[in-house]
C-alpha cells in the first residue's frame, strides 16, 4: 500500500520536476548570455574598440569577437540541446546573427531583442541602441 502511494506521488511529481528543470536551465542560460553581452559592452568601453557578439547556430554557442584583431574572447556561452535563439535587430531578422558595441558602449545599429526559448518557455534579452543598456525580461 505504501509503495503504491509512493509510486502515485512520483508519477504525479516527476513531470513537474522535469518542467521546473527546463525552466531553471532557461533562466541560467539567459543569465549567462546577459553576462556575456555585458562583458562585450564593458570590453568595448575599456579597450576603446568595437566588440561583436556572434551567434554560431551550427556550434550552438554565443561568443564575443574583436573585429580589429579577429581574436575571440575566452568566455563562450554554449546553449543546451533543444534551446533556440531568435535574434531581432530593430524588429527584423538580421542577415548575419551578430551585433556590435561601439567604444562608447552604444550599439552600432538599432536595438536588439534576443529571445531564448526552450520547451515552450521563453526569456527575452533587450539591448537599447543609444545607451547599450541590457535588460532581461
Query: If you ran DSSP here, which 8-state letter would residue 107 be given?
Result: B
H or E stretch covering 16: helix 2-47
Domain spanning 2-136: CATH 3.55.40.10: yes
In whole angstroms, what is the distance from residue 54 CA to residue 36 CA? 11
**pTM of the entire structure?**
0.86
- What would the mean pLDDT of 52-75 be, rounded to a whole number? 90
The residues spanned by each domain of the chain are: 2-136
How many residues make up the chain in this entry? 137
What is the model's pLDDT at position 28?
Answer: 94
pLDDT, tens digit, 9 for 90 and up, residues 65-101 = 999 888 888 889 999 988 999 999 999 999 999 999 9
Asked if residues 90 and 110 have their Cβ atoms less than 8 Å apart, the reply is: yes
With b meaning 16 or more CB within 10 Å and e meaning fewer, what string describes 88-103? bbeeeeeeebbbbbbe
What is the model's pLDDT at position 127?
Answer: 97
pLDDT, tens digit, 9 for 90 and up, residues 18-39 = 777 778 889 999 999 999 999 9
Amino acid at each position: 500500500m505504501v509503495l503504491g502511494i509512493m509510486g502515485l506521488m512520483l508519477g504525479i511529481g516527476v513531470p513537474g520536476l522535469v518542467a521546473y528543470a527546463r525552466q531553471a536551465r532557461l533562466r541560467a542560460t539567459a543569465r549567462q548570455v546577459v553576462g556575456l553581452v555585458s562583458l562585450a559592452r564593458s570590453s568595448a568601453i575599456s579597450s576603446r574598440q568595437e566588440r561583436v557578439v556572434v551567434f554560431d547556430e551550427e556550434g550552438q554557442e554565443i561568443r564575443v569577437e574583436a573585429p580589429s584583431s579577429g581574436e575571440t574572447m575566452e568566455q563562450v556561452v554554449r546553449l543546451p540541446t533543444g534551446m533556440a535563439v531568435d535574434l531581432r535587430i530593430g524588429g527584423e531578422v538580421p542577415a548575419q546573427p551578430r551585433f556590435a558595441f561601439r567604444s562608447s558602449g552604444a550599439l552600432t545599429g538599432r536595438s536588439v531583442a534576443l529571445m531564448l526559448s526552450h520547451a515552450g518557455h521563453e526569456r527575452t534579452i533587450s539591448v537599447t541602441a543609444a545607451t547599450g543598456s541590457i535588460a532581461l525580461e
